[in-house]
Structure 1
Amino acid sequence: MPPAGFHHVEIWVADLALVEPSWKWLFGELGWEPYQNWPEGRSWRIGDSYLVVEQSSAVRPGLPYDRMRPGLNHLAVHAPDRAAVDRVHRVGPQHGWRRLFASAYPHAGGTAHYAAYLVDAAGFEVEIVAPAGDEVTEG
């Protein structure tokens, strides 16, 4: 059977130095490993998939990223368990992430969906999703 899921995702940013610490922390918390490192970018890998955050010289100048415009609205990634979702939600603001839908945490996506929604300093949203049926209590 061929691999499933995405091969890689690239997120182009206007300021790598602004967002790299947040992404590095987040993916470290979720068990992703550093993968590539070059002056304009970083990547992290889990399984056969990897994610790139890059300050490409090909980025067109213009308005800052707006997740409400056509294009990528958010990236959703798996967490190993509910405890990881809780930890990321709790500690994320200390690492450059702003909480979204905090008043509805952890069920902003519905009662059967356990997730944290975070936004980095550049406006990119990440949804951290616990496995279905994981009944670890919130902590």
Structure 2
Amino acid sequence: MPRALHHLDLWVDDVATAEGEWGWLLARCGWQREEGVLSWVHPDGTYVFMEHSPDQHGAHDRLRPGINHLATTVETRDELDRMRSESTEHGWHELYADRYPYAGGEAHVALYLESSEGFEVEVVAGG
């Protein structure tokens, strides 16, 4: 079956900071860094490319029209718990911490994180 999504381009303000934050998160979710470019590829072939473009204007705001957040997966709840415990040291802020891991509902096990630039990522355990 072909992948559902080909790739995502992330436009960031601070490439060095974003590379550290996103690199950690994507690696924990099974994505591999591609050699020589700011890109990570998932085992299904989907990739995320990161850059700071001269065409950018204004700060990222996930609450404005556009994409609100990215959701990815890990296989187990243990992996999710490890990500939660490590996330702060890698620049991520936990959202809805008081409702972890059921902030998305009782049948939905997930961790919600926000990067230093305000990007939200939902990491779902078990697909």
**TM-score higher than 0.5 here?**
yes
Out of 15, 38, 43, the residue aligned to residue 39 of structure 2 is: 43
Partner of 1:23 in structure 2? Answer: 22
**Percent of matched pairs sharing the same residue:** 43
Question: What per-residue deviation string (whole Å, max 9, x for no partner) do you get for residues 47-99 of structure 1?
Answer: 2101112112222x22x111100011000001122111111111101100000
Does 1:76 pair with 2:71?
A: yes
Report runs of 4+ in structure 1 exceeding 3 Å deviation. Answer: none
Structure number, greater radius of gyration: 1
Partner of 1:107 in structure 2? Answer: 102
Tell me the TM-score normalised to structure 1 length.
Answer: 0.85
> Is the contact made by 1:36 and 1:44 (CA closer than 8 Å) also made in structure 2?
no
Structure 2: unaligned runs, 5 residues or longer:
none
Letter in 1 for 2:10: I
RMSD over aligned CA atoms reads: 1.3
Partner of 1:135 in structure 2? Answer: none
> Is the contact made by 2:3 and 2:46 (CA closer than 8 Å) also made in structure 1?
no
Equivalents in 1 of 2:53, 2:119: separation in Å? 16
> Is the contact made by 2:61 and 2:118 (CA closer than 8 Å) also made in structure 1?
yes
Out of 116, 123, 130, the residue aligned to residue 125 of structure 2 is: 130
Partner of 1:55 in structure 2? Answer: 52
Equivalents in 1 of 2:126, 2:45: separation in Å? 19
Partner of 2:6 in structure 1? Answer: 7
Letter in 2 for 1:78: T
Tell me the TM-score normalised to structure 2 length.
Answer: 0.92
Letter in 2 for 1:83: D
Structure 1: unaligned runs, 5 residues or longer:
133-139
Equivalents in 1 of 2:4, 2:16: separation in Å? 29
